[in-house]
Amino acid sequence: DTGVSQDPRHKITKRGQNVTFRCDPISEHNRLYWYRQTLGQGPEFLTYFQNEAQLEKSRLLSDRFSAERPKGSFSTLEIQRTEQGDSAMYLCAGVRVPGNTIYFGEGSWLTVV
């Protein structure tokens, strides 16, 4: 158990709908990352938070994507106006800086139909 929980595990949505994923790391994870993984590929970085501050966003994170981490605890990743190309697994990961091991949640599968 990595201590990182993600919800929902699976989501099927129609194109154009909005979806939101939630990540609950353990309290010691002062840094939180979001990644996206498509079939046959390794995870790709989307964004990260240091406590409640969002410090970096990948160019993969279009303006339809928004992430928050209020109070530096749980985090949400929202995708607006979903497209079929958004179908992927969205992974959340936490690390207690200055530690080096990043621990992943089980991921949230998104299928856009």
Partner 1 sequence: AQSVAQPEDQVNVAEGNPLTVKCTYSVSGNPYLFWYVQYPNRGLQFLLKYITGDNLVKGSYGFEAEFNKSQTSFHLKKPSALVSDSALYFCAVRDWDGGSQGNLIFGKGTKLSVKP
Give me the residues that bind partner 1 (CB under 8 A), please. 2, 4, 6, 31, 33, 35, 40-45, 48, 50, 55-56, 58, 91, 93, 95, 97, 100-107, 109
Taking the least distance from each CB to partner 1, the nearer of 74 and 103 is: 103
Rounded to an integer, what distance in angstroms lies between the CA atom of residue 55 and that of residue 107? 22
- Among residues 19 and 61, whose Cβ is nearest to partner 1? 61
Least CB distance to partner 1 at residue 64 (A): 21
Using CA atoms, how far apart are residues 13 and 71, in angstroms rounded to an integer?
A: 29
Q: Which residues contact 83 (CB under 8 A, 6 or more apart)?
A: 15, 64, 112
Q: Regarding beta strands 108-112 and 10-13, do their DSSP bridges make them parallel or antiparallel, or are they unpaired?
A: parallel
Q: State which residue, 41 or 84, has the beta carbon closest to partner 1.
A: 41
